[in-house]
Structure 1
Amino acid sequence: MSRECCPNSALEHCSTWLTNFDGSPFGRPVFICRVIRVYLTYLDESGTPGDRTTRFFVLGGVMVFERQTHWLELELDAIADRYQPQAGGRYLELHAAPMRNRKEGWEGISATDRVQATADVLRLLKASRARPVIFAAVIEKGQMLRAADILPYCYEVVAAKVDLFLARKYRQRKEAARGILVLDRNRDEEANMQALHRTFKNIGHTNGKLRNFAEVPLFVDSKATLTRTLSLPHSLRGPPPLILRGVSHRCCIHLSRESQKTRL
């Protein structure tokens, strides 16, 4: 089998191989290697759709190339390890809400240290070697007729924008890319979100169909897997103006009664 069309250095970077044994003009089989890059988008929500005491609901996402998740995890671990001795042996997750409210191991850590840890996590969204891409759907809950429609609507918007982002990679750079959405396990939402994703893929959503995902959303238990990468979307919590300032260098969707803004 000839591999002249795909040198060894390229084979080492293949996420998926497609092999074709059609005969070449010289009577030898041809080996065709097509690189398909996979991007993981970690999603998390801020707020409760039915909570009338809060004005906004946020669904945030952080996209990372599959081979960069290891390096991002190391950077997150380095932040948490500075405060781990003060946690009394508990595994510290870098979630914004527990860090702010002194819960889940952050009880004995000073306010100054908690603010510093939060700031360090936010800096990774801009300065990490993994070069994460940010997606966020922010909706003013009062504009929705039913609270039950808020999460599905935000999911539709974010999933469609992730799909569009991956499609543009091929149109502009000829980079074949597929995505997988990763969420923290929630048994009440898991079946509904996966069914919703299949509907958007097979039947369609408001602006078309999802065409660039490798699988339905993946739900994992962040505590069981001991991965801090799932904590990154938690950093997108806060008032919409703060979110927009923090991620303006990446991709952001802001939905409200007054305006609708899309940046890619």
Structure 2
Amino acid sequence: MHLLYADESGNTGDAAQTYFVLAGISLFERQGYWLANQLDNLAREINPADPSSIEFHGSPMFGGKGIWRKHMKADRCRIIREALKIFAYSHQSNRIFACVVDKTKISPNDPVEFSFEQLASRFDHYLSRLHKENNAQRGIIIFDKSTYETTIQGLATDFRTIGHKWGVLRNLSEVPLFLDSKASRLIQLADLIAYSIFRQYEHGDDDFFSIFHDRFDEVGGVKHGLCERL
């Protein structure tokens, strides 16, 4: 089983922001424990007395909000880099899928619908490719429960029955699941990656993006894991 933990960055209703990002990390089920354990260790370094109180979320970490207010910006950015390196240095089978949308280029269409169609179909294509390599795997997409749950659940059901632009989702074993990010280090990691991609496109800041830029799903020099509508 391959799990795609996904989250978004950018506000669809904020005219001051150009881009919307939906991104996820795909990993074989047994890889999840290792990644979550490494993130727990990082949280323990920050707050040994209560590591569970530490949540890794890109925007509040970078901006110094909430529990991150007492940390200097240099330390906050270092912690973001350390968390991203945990994925960047993980098993090569772990991959990133992302869709970056210039909201004006697809208006009046919904950037959430467009991005989810891209993310789901590309993840499904990846699983189909594994099947052709005699490595049959099913997949599940897991979102932060604060993400656009009603919209995404409806789309996923339609894709499995009616289909999307490129066919029908054939390799997903269930409609997307939604978890509280407080309980999932892997959702938090997906948030950091989505935020890092957003900063790269919205602000031209590749400080974080450069850490994992080579981990998108790729075959023969073609980045299937990155969709850009710019």
The CA RMSD over aligned residues, in Å, is 2.1
1:253: which partner in 2?
Answer: 226
For 1:70-219, what aligned pairs fall within 5 Å after superposition?
A: 70-85=33-48, 91-129=53-91, 131-146=93-108, 149-172=110-133, 174-186=134-146, 189-219=148-178
CA contact (8 A) 2:40 2:51 kept: no
CA contact (8 A) 2:142 2:176 kept: yes
CA contact (8 A) 2:144 2:178 kept: yes
Q: Quote the Cα distance in structure 1 between the aligned partners of 2:65 and 2:185.
A: 16
More displaced stretch, 91-100 vs 159-168: 91-100
Q: Quote the Cα distance in structure 2 between the aligned partners of 1:213 and 1:163.
A: 7
Q: TM-score, normalised by structure 2?
A: 0.86
More displaced stretch, 236-245 vs 67-76: 236-245
For 1:222-261, what aligned pairs fall within 5 Å after superposition?
A: 222-223=181-182, 226-236=183-193, 237=195, 238-240=199-201, 242=206, 245=210, 246-251=212-217, 252-257=225-230
What code does the residue aligned with 1:154 have? S
3-state SS, counterpart of residue 66 of structure 2: coil
Q: Aligned-pair distance for 1:244?
A: 6.7
Q: Quote the Cα distance in structure 1 between the aligned partners of 2:143 and 2:81.
A: 23
Q: Aligned-pair distance for 1:192?
A: 2.3
- CA deviation digits over 1:114-146, x for unaligned, max 9? 111111111122202485210110011110222
Q: Quote the Cα distance in structure 2 between the aligned partners of 1:131 and 1:53.
A: 37
Q: Quote the Cα distance in structure 1 between the aligned partners of 2:68 and 2:14.
A: 25
What code does the residue aligned with 2:29 have? E
Find the partner of 2:24 among 54, 61, 64: 61
Q: TM-score, normalised by structure 1?
A: 0.75
- CA deviation digits over 1:95-121, x for unaligned, max 9? 111111112311112222211111111
**Higher helix fraction (1 or 2):** 2
Show structure 1 runs of 5+ residues with no match.
1-37, 258-264
3-state SS, counterpart of residue 135 of structure 1: strand
- CA deviation digits over 1:55-109, x for unaligned, max 9? 11100100111112111111111111111159x8871111111111112311112
Q: Of the two, which has the highest radius of gyration? A: 1
What code does the residue aligned with 2:71 have? I
Q: Quote the Cα distance in structure 1 between the aligned partners of 2:139 and 2:95.
A: 13
Identity of aligned residues (%): 32
Q: Aligned-pair distance for 1:203?
A: 0.6
Show structure 2 runs of 5+ residues with no match.
218-224
What code does the residue aligned with 1:176 have? A
Structure with bigger RCO (C-alpha 8 Å, 6+ apart): 2
CA separation of 1:64 and 1:140: change in aligned 2, threshold 3 A: same
Q: Quote the Cα distance in structure 1 between the aligned partners of 2:97 and 2:185.
A: 18
Q: Aligned-pair distance for 1:229?
A: 1.2
